[in-house]
Amino acid sequence: MTVPDPADRTLEYVEALLRLADEYGPGLIVPTTDESLEAVAAHHDVLSARHTVACATDGVAQGFLDKRITSEIADRAGVEAPRTASPTSHEELEALVGHLRFPCLVKPAESYRYNRAFGVKMKRVHTPDELRTAWGEAHALAIGTMVQELIPGPETGGVNYNVYVVDGEPRVEMTSRKLRLSPSDFGYPCAVVSGRVPEVVEPGRAIVAAMGIEGFANVEFKQDERNGRYYLMEVNGRPNMSGRLAVRAGVDFPLLTYRHLVDGVVPTQTPWREGVHWVNEFKDPRILTTRWRDGRLAPLGGLRPYLSSRVLATFDASDPRPFLARLGSGITPDKTPTAPDRAAH
C-alpha cells in the first residue's frame, strides 16, 4: 500500500493508517523516519484508539524532533552538549556574530526539513559572511536553525547509545562506534561497529529520562579530540539508520518492541557481541574507492567491515525485495530507513 508523504500531506497519511485498521484490523505502527514520527505523534490519540503505536506522544516527541528544545533539556539535565544559540532574526544573528568562535555549525531545528531543502544534515561555516548566508538560506524557507559550537574530532569519534525504556527504567542497552560517514565530517553513517563505550551510558540514560522517552531511543554523541569527553549530538525516538547492527549483534530491538507492546513481555538485557559491523552497501564502497584514489587510505585499507561479522543496510538473502526495489529505483539517499513505515499485523 502506498501512502501520502507524511511531511506534506499529514492528514491524508494519518487517514491512510486508519483505513488499514478498517481493512485488516489493528496493527503496530512503528514510525521509522522523523517525518512519519512527527505525523504519528501529532495524532497519537486518534491512532492509538485503532492501533498500537510505538512512538512518543507529541509533547515528548518535540523534545527530540526540535533540536533547540533538545539543547535546552540537555542543559537542564546536566548532559554535556555543544554551546548552542538559536537566532530567529537577522538582528539576533548579528548580535551573536561577535561572540562566536569559527568554524562553527549551522544546524536545523528539524533535520528532515533541512535535508530535503539542502541535501545535507548541516553546514560548517568559517566566516561571518558564510554564517549569514547559511542561516539566511534556511530562514528564507522558514526552516529554524541553530548556530552551534564545533566539536572537533575524526568521524570515528561518533558513538550511538541505543536503549529500550519501560516505566522510566532502561531495560536493554547497547553502544556502537561510527567508522565512516558520508560526507566524512557531518554525514550519514556508511560503516558502524558494535562496541562498548561506557562513557556514554550515564549521559544517555540522563537525557532519555529528562525527555520522558518510553520504548526505543537512539542517542548520538561525539568525542571531543581536545579533552576526550563525549558531547550530546542528537536524540532519535525511532529506529536509527544502522538499526540492523543491533539485531546482528544480539539485541533485536524491533522484536522486543513488538513483544512488549503486543504481548506484554517486558524486555530484559541480553548479551551482545562486540566487533560486529554494519555497512551501507550503496554508499560505503564508493567512499572507500574515493579515499583509496585520493590517498586518504592505504590501498585495500578500511576493509575490516567486509572481512568480519557484518550486516548490510538493506540486503538480506532471506528477503531481497527491499534491496531490489531500492536498486531499481536508482535513488540511494543517505538517510533511508531500513524498513518501510508500516502497521504490523
pLDDT digits (tens, 9 = 90+) for 225-247: 999 999 999 999 999 999 999 99
Q: Are 205 and 222 in contact (CB under 8 A)?
A: no
Question: 221 and 101 in one domain?
Answer: no
Question: 325 and 197 in one domain?
Answer: yes
Could you tell me which residues come within 8 angstroms of residue 198 by beta carbon, excluding any fewer than 6 positions away?
175
- In the 3-class helix/strand/coil scheme, how is 254-295 assigned residue by residue? HHHHHHHHHHCCCCCCCCCCCCCEEECCCCHHHHHHHHHHHC
Q: What 3-state class would DSSP assign to 248?
A: helix
Question: 192 and 259 in one domain?
Answer: yes
**CATH code for the domain of 109:** 3.30.1490.20
Asked whether the CA dihedral 230, 236, 241, 242 is positive or negative, the reply is positive
* 343, pLDDT greater than 90: no
Question: 216 and 132 in one domain?
Answer: no
Q: How many domains does the chain have?
A: 3
- 333 — pLDDT class (breaks 50, 70, 90): very low
Question: Residue 332's pLDDT is what?
Answer: 53
In a domain, 134, yes or no: yes
Question: Residue 307's pLDDT is what?
Answer: 95
Question: Residue 331's pLDDT is what?
Answer: 56
Question: 248 and 210 in one domain?
Answer: yes
* Structural domain that includes position 115: 83-149
pLDDT in tens, 132-144: 999 999 999 999 9
Could you tell me which residues come within 8 angstroms of residue 201 by beta carbon, excluding any fewer than 6 positions away?
161, 173, 175
Mean pLDDT value of segment 316-340: 71
Mean pLDDT value of segment 63-81: 96
Mean pLDDT value of segment 72-85: 97
Question: Residue 330's pLDDT is what?
Answer: 66
In a domain, 278, yes or no: yes
- 345 — pLDDT class (breaks 50, 70, 90): very low
Which residues sit opposite 33 in a β-bridge?
none
Question: 337 and 195 in one domain?
Answer: yes
Question: 295 and 279 in one domain?
Answer: yes
Mean pLDDT value of segment 151-173: 97
Q: What cell was used for 304?
A: 575490516
Question: 271 and 169 in one domain?
Answer: yes
In a domain, 37, yes or no: yes
* 336, pLDDT greater than 60: no
The Cα 247–Cα 258 span in angstroms is 14
Question: 207 and 328 in one domain?
Answer: yes
Mean pLDDT value of segment 85-114: 93
Q: What cell was used for 108?
A: 536545523
Question: 181 and 256 in one domain?
Answer: yes
Nearest-10 crossing angle of helices 67-77, 58-65: 90
pLDDT in tens, 171-223: 999 999 999 999 888 889 999 999 999 999 999 999 999 999 999 999 999 99
In a domain, 74, yes or no: no
Question: 299 and 208 in one domain?
Answer: yes
Q: How much is the mean pLDDT over the chain? A: 93
* 6, pLDDT greater than 80: yes
Question: 180 and 121 in one domain?
Answer: no
